[in-house]
Amino acid sequence: MTGKTEHQEEYSDLEREVAAKIDQPLGVDKQSLEEAADAILKAGSVKTGDTEDNAEAGSDELADPLVALVNDLKSVHAEKDDLQNKLLRTAAEMENLRKRTRKEIADARDFSIASFARDLLGVSDNLRRAIDAVPAEEAEADTSGLKNLMEGVSMTERELLSALEKHKVRKMSPKGERFDPNFHQAMFEVPNKDIPNNTVVEVVQEGYFIGERMLRPAMVGVSKGGPKKARHETAGEDESQTTDESS
């Protein structure tokens, strides 16, 4: 700082005055000693006042940086909360993405052979037609090797169905069940008053699942004209079917 304050200039003058009085010979009178003591006390009071003024000025100077520091701290906390929320949202999105990816991979693995399996179902149908074309009694009584031929065809059918089941392709046998348009395709109606209405009484072509998906609906004949099932029985069958599918 380039200039002295009023207090500092006054204190310097008093210092010179006190020094001049102290430098006097010891043989001075009592009045001179009292004047020197008063000068020292006055100089001390002036110095104390100057120190208090400097302390007040310093506290004012420290107040502004403290306010700025508090504001910076609040800003840092707000930024931290914002980043934490973004992190939580990103973590949730990544978890959902992992679940979707796992499901897509599992579906691709399970259903990648759907077209191939659907084509093989025609082979299975033809094997079954060949078996049904020859009555069991005739095959047993025949001595020309027909029995061995039919056993070979039956074995081939079993091997094919077993290979399909290894890839989660399974047959449905809806005979005697309530007709369900989600799984059955009605080909004709069979009038019968003794069987509850809309009951599968004949299966023309077997249906198949692959995993939990429908691969091919079953072609069936449905009863007509019989008594209607009670509502609570129908609801019970629907619930049981839903439970079996979910398991």
Q: What is the pLDDT along the chain (247 residues), one digit of tens a residue?
A: 445 555 455 545 655 665 555 555 444 455 665 666 666 556 555 445 455 555 555 555 555 777 777 778 888 888 888 999 999 999 999 999 999 999 888 878 777 888 888 888 888 888 888 888 888 777 777 667 778 888 888 899 899 989 888 888 988 888 889 999 999 999 999 888 888 888 999 998 899 999 888 899 999 999 988 777 654 454 455 555 544 444 4
Full-model pTM: 0.52
Residues 177 and 244 occupy one common structural domain = yes
Same domain, 157 and 222: no
User: Mapping DSSP to helix (H, G, I), strand (E, B) and coil, where does residue 190 land?
Assistant: strand
Range of the domain at 140: 113-167
The answer on 213 and 146 residing in a single domain is no
> Does 12 lie in the same domain as 66?
yes
Residue 150 lies in a domain: yes
- DSSP for 200-217, please give it: EEEEEE-EEEETTEEEEP
Domain co-membership, 196 together with 237: yes
Residue 20 amino acid letter: A
Based on the fold, state whether residues 56 and 120 are members of the same structural domain: no
104 is a domain residue: no
Nearest to 202 by CA among 215, 191, 213, 216: 191
- Specify whether 154 is located in the same domain as 205: no
Does 247 lie in the same domain as 186? yes
